[in-house]
Amino acid sequence: MNYVACFGDSLIQGYPYSNQNSWIAEVEKYAEVKMLNYGVCGECCDDILARLKTTTLPEHVHHILFLGGANDVIEGKPEKYILEDIAKLVKWCEEKKYNLCIVLPLISAEPMLNVQLQSIGRAVEEKYSDKVCIMNLQPAVGMSSLERRLAYLDGVHPKATTYKTMGKFAAPLVMEWLEKTAMAKLEEVAQEVEAVMEEGFENIASCLLATPAGNLRISASNKGIVEIAFTDEDVTAFSETENKFLAEACKQLQEYFAKERTTFDLPLDVQGTEYQEKVWEELKKIPYGEVRTYRDIATALGNPNAVRAVGMANNRNPICIVVPCHRVIGKNNKLTGYVGGVEKKEYLLKLEGVEL
Q: Which domain holds residue 275?
A: 201-351
Q: Using the predicted structure, report yes or no on whether residue 238 has a pLDDT greater than 50.
A: no
Q: What is the pLDDT of residue 199?
A: 55
Q: What is the pLDDT of residue 331?
A: 77
Q: Using the predicted structure, report yes or no on whether residue 239 has a pLDDT greater than 50.
A: no
Hey, which residues does 319 pair with through a beta bridge? 228
Counting other chains too, the contacts that 15-19 makes at CB distance below 8 Å and 24 or more residues apart are 15/41, 15/157, 16/153, 16/157, 17/160, 17/163
Q: Does some domain include residue 22? A: yes
Q: Does some domain include residue 356? A: no
Q: Does some domain include residue 315? A: yes
In what side-by-side order are the strands of the sheet with 225-230?
A: 205-209, 216-220, 225-230
For residue 293, how many C-alpha atoms fall within 13 Å in the half-sphere facing its CB?
Answer: 12
Q: Using the predicted structure, report yes or no on whether residue 201 has a pLDDT greater than 70.
A: no
Strand 63-67 relative to strand 33-39, pairing: unpaired
Q: What is the pLDDT of residue 176?
A: 92
Q: Model confidence over 109-122: pLDDT tens digits?
A: 888 899 999 999 99
CATH number at residue 230: 1.10.10.10
Q: Are both 179 and 258 inside the same structural domain?
A: no
**At 239, is the secondary structure helix, strand, or coil?**
coil
Compare 195 and 97 and report the one with higher pLDDT.
Answer: 97
Q: Using the predicted structure, report yes or no on whether residue 200 has a pLDDT greater than 60.
A: no
Q: Model confidence over 302-347: pLDDT tens digits?
A: 988 888 889 889 989 999 999 999 999 987 777 777 777 889 999 9
Angle value at C-alpha 161, between 160 and 166, nearest 5 degrees: 100
State pTM to two decimals: 0.57
Three-class DSSP labels, 206-237: EEEECCCCCCEEEEECCCCEEEEEECCCCCCC
Domain count across the chain: 2
Distance CA 298, CA 222 (A): 33
Domain end among 167, 190, 213: 190
Q: Does some domain include residue 196? A: no
Q: Model confidence over 69-108: pLDDT tens digits?
A: 999 999 999 999 999 999 999 999 999 999 999 999 999 9
Q: Using the predicted structure, report yes or no on whether residue 195 has a pLDDT greater than 70.
A: no
Q: Are both 136 and 269 inside the same structural domain?
A: no
Angle value at C-alpha 187, between 184 and 193, nearest 5 degrees: 145
**Nearest alpha-carbon partner for 277 in 249, 305, 218, 317:** 317
Q: Report CA-CA distances (Å) from 348 to 172, 199, 326, 327.
A: 36, 33, 7, 9
Q: What is the pLDDT of residue 237?
A: 45
Three-class DSSP labels, 2-29: EEEEEEECHHHHCCCCCHHHCHHHHHHH
Residues 147-164, mean pLDDT to the nearest whole number: 94
Q: Are both 147 and 211 inside the same structural domain?
A: no
pLDDT band at residue 184 using 50, 70 and 90 as cut-offs: confident
Q: Are both 71 and 17 inside the same structural domain?
A: yes
Q: Are both 179 and 236 inside the same structural domain?
A: no
Distance CA 117, CA 112 (A): 10
CATH number at residue 182: 3.40.50.1110
Domain end among 155, 190, 225: 190
Q: Model confidence over 129-152: pLDDT tens digits?
A: 999 999 999 999 999 999 999 999
The chain-wide mean pLDDT, for the chain, equals 90
Q: Are both 185 and 232 inside the same structural domain?
A: no
Q: Are both 186 and 235 inside the same structural domain?
A: no
In what side-by-side order are the strands of the sheet with 133-135?
A: 33-39, 2-8, 63-67, 99-103, 133-135
Q: Are both 158 and 180 inside the same structural domain?
A: yes
Determine the longest span between alpha carbons in the chain, in angstroms: 80
Q: Are both 319 and 339 inside the same structural domain?
A: yes
Q: Are both 28 and 105 inside the same structural domain?
A: yes
Q: Are both 21 and 166 inside the same structural domain?
A: yes
Q: Does some domain include residue 155? A: yes
Q: Are both 309 and 178 inside the same structural domain?
A: no
Residue numbers annotated as active site: 325
Query: Is residue 184 within 8 Å of 271, Cβ to Cβ?
Result: no
DSSP label of 201: G
